[in-house]
């Protein structure tokens, strides 16, 4: 059943802004979350990215605040990354265009001076990353006693990024009497315990079963022996896929992202490709997102720093060059495509050392990812010695994680070699004693290790 925004108790200014932005029907999360938020209730929303959750809390907050008032913030939205914070600010500006409400966005990576100046001029809503908010608050530039509503967005990501101490400090400095809203893509144990401390008798809204990829995403998995073959496979897919309108490629590390980017620049030229990772400066990252959004470039290569909070509606393909180690990120990565009821392709390359994470992902999303054979024309490289060693070490570590008693091939080898070295050194020091020490070898090697 379709629900129009006209069915909600919004004033004309907000309804006009919604229709000017081209929205007519409310998405499921908006249908369920807007009425209780307008009523002032605490809400916990479990919804993956691309479901319209930002508007689900931004619209009722704008309706409640109505117009600029005083100098101090009445709404505070906390987000894990600067990209998402900027995305939220953009949403607020779109929907508050017919009002005089003032929004300031606070994030690290740039000096705080301009941000502090904006707050001093007067603000109604602050959107901030946890660390930067606390820095500016502790420096005495933010008055929190006027806050009426607090939103924690992408709560699961904030937990993964280790922001719990900052969140606890924020909860200590905001008024006790306030409305709380918490949004998360997954319902992990950590999020559950945070919600228990943070929300009072919340309305819980779960839009899809937790961590289920959008039904509109067609998933594919390729088992690939090594990085060089991954590049060959990427080339073959790009040669074959004539319908790639917009492509995001995710890599585990910035080194991998740079390698993939360099390969793509050789193939398509600099005008078609941008790269985003933590080592890139703030402005470069913003420019990369904007040129991808505005269809100036077709391909964006990114690490997971960019996998949430980029709201680009027409990404046709996502390629996971590497399998994410934080398995929930798989859902966020592939959630870049198949958004707003459009279909999309999500293709994952998996090396032997990454199969462990694929199994965990399949358990999380409660479905098997269809496996495809590497096309015949793709040259399969021999795995170099160093990469083979690294894969074997990684597999050893995974087995040890599952079974603490598992020692692994590397462990055995190391112990035997240390023992031999110890015996040789002992024989050298005292040629007369050719008896091996009873326990000394073990102790010494233990200390050395």
Q: What does each of the 449 residues of the chain score in pLDDT, given as a tens digit?
A: 568 888 898 999 999 998 887 777 888 889 999 999 999 999 999 886 667 889 999 999 999 999 999 999 999 999 998 888 988 998 899 999 999 999 999 999 888 999 999 999 999 999 999 999 999 999 999 999 999 999 999 888 888 888 889 999 999 999 989 999 999 887 777 788 888 888 888 999 887 644 556 667 889 999 999 999 999 999 999 887 666 788 999 998 888 899 999 999 998 888 889 888 666 666 777 788 788 888 888 899 988 765 555 666 678 899 999 998 777 778 778 877 766 556 788 999 999 999 999 998 888 888 899 999 999 999 999 999 999 999 999 898 888 777 767 766 555 555 566 667 777 777 776 655 444 444 444 444 444 44
Which residue bears the tokens 């607020």?
92
CA distance 419 to 433: 16
How many Å apart are CA 216 and CA 274, to the nearest integer?
26
> Structure pTM?
0.57
CA neighbor of 300 nearest in space, from 327, 346, 261: 261
* Domain spans in the chain, listed from the N-terminal domain onward: 5-206, 217-400, 407-448
pLDDT value, residue 379: 93
* Best CA proximity match to 161, nearest among 220, 84, 271: 84
CB 103 within 8 A of CB 96: yes
- pLDDT of the residue at 104: 97
| Residues contacting 435, CB < 8 A, separation 6+ | none
Matching fold, domains 5-206 and 217-400: yes
Q: Which residues contact 413 (CB under 8 A, 6 or more apart)?
A: none
Contacts of 202 by beta carbon, 8 Å cutoff, 6+ apart: 41, 42, 43, 44, 180, 182, 195
Closest C-alpha to 106, from 56, 155, 142, 52: 142
Q: Are 19 and 27 in contact (CB under 8 A)?
A: no
Angstrom distance (rounded) from CA 164 to CA 13: 37
Rounded Cα gap, residues 339 and 293, in angstroms? 14
Q: Give the bridge partners for 250, in sequence order.
A: 302, 320
Query: What pLDDT, on a 0 to 100 scale, did the predictor assign at position 448?
Result: 43
Cα separation of 72 and 65, whole Å? 12
Q: What was the pLDDT predicted at 340?
A: 55
Beta strand 217-223 with 371-372 is parallel
Strands 149-152 and 43-46, sheet pairing = unpaired
Please check whether residue 251 is in contact with residue 302, taking contact to mean a CB–CB distance below 8 angstroms.
Answer: yes
Cα-only R_g, the chain:
26
Other Cβ atoms closer than 10 A to 353: 20
Looking at residue 323, the DSSP 8-state letter turns out to be -
**Which CATH architecture does the domain made up of 217-400 adopt?**
3-Layer(aba) Sandwich (3.40)
Rounded to a whole number, what is the largest CA-CA distance in the chain?
98
C-alpha to C-alpha distance for 33 and 59, rounded to whole angstroms: 10
Among 120, 131, 170, residue whose Cα is nearest residue 150? 170
Task: With beta carbons less than 8 A apart as the criterion, state whether 298 and 246 touch.
Answer: yes
- Dihedral of alpha carbons 30, 36, 40, 42, sign: negative
What kind of fold does domain 5-206 have according to CATH?
Answer: Rossmann fold (3.40.50)
Q: Are 348 and 322 in contact (CB under 8 A)?
A: no
Predicted pLDDT of residue 306: 55
């Amino acid at each position: 059943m379709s629900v129009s925004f006209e069915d909600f108790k919004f004033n004309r200014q907000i309804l006009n802004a919604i229709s000017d932005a081209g929205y007519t029907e409310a998405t499921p999360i908006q249908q369920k979350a807007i009425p209780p938020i307008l009523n002032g209730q605490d809400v916990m929303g479990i919804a993956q990215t691309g479901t319209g959750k930002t508007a689900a809390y931004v619209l009722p907050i704008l309706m409640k605040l109505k117009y600029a008032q005083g100098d101090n913030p009445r709404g505070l939205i906390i987000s894990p990354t600067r990209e998402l914070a900027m995305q939220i600010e953009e949403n607020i500006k779109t929907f508050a265009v017919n009002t005089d409400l003032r929004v300031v966005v606070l994030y690290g990576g740039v000096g705080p001076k301009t941000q502090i100046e904006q707050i001093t001029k007067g603000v109604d809503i602050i959107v901030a990353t946890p660390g930067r908010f606390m820095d500016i608050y502790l420096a005495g530039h933010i008055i929190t006693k006027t806050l009426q509503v607090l939103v924690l967005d992408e709560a699961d990501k904030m937990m993964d990024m280790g922001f719990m101490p900052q969140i606890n400090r924020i909860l200590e400095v905001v008024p006790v009497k306030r409305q709380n809203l918490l949004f998360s893509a997954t319902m992990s144990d950590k999020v559950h315990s945070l919600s228990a401390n943070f929300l009072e008798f919340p309305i819980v809204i779960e839009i899809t079963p937790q961590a289920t990829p959008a039904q509109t995403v067609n998933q594919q998995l390729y088992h690939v022996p090594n990085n060089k073959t991954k590049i060959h496979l990427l080339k073959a897919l790009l040669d074959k896929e004539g319908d790639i309108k917009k492509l995001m490629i995710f890599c585990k590390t910035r080194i991998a992202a740079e390698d993939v980017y360099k390969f793509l620049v050789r193939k398509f030229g600099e005008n078609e490709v941008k790269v985003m990772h933590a080592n890139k400066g703030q402005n470069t990252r913003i420019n990369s997102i904007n040129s991808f959004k505005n269809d100036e470039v077709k391909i964006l290569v990114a690490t997971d720093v960019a996998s949430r909070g980029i709201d680009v509606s027409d990404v046709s393909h996502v390629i996971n060059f590497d399998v994410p180690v934080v398995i929930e990120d798989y859902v966020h990565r592939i959630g870049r495509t198949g958004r707003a009821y459009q279909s999309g392709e999500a293709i994952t390359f998996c090396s032997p050392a990454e199969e462990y994470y694929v199994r965990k992902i399949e358990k999380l999303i409660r479905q098997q990812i269809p496996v495809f054979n590497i096309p015949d024309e793709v040259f399969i490289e021999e795995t170099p010695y160093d990469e083979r060693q690294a894969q074997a070490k990684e597999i050893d570590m995974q087995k040890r994680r599952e079974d603490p008693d598992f020692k692994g091939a590397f462990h055995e080898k190391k112990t035997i070699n240390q023992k031999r070295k110890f015996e040789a050194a002992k024989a050298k020091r005292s040629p007369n004693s050719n008896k091996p020490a009873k326990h000394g070898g073990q102790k010494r090697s233990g200390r050395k290790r």
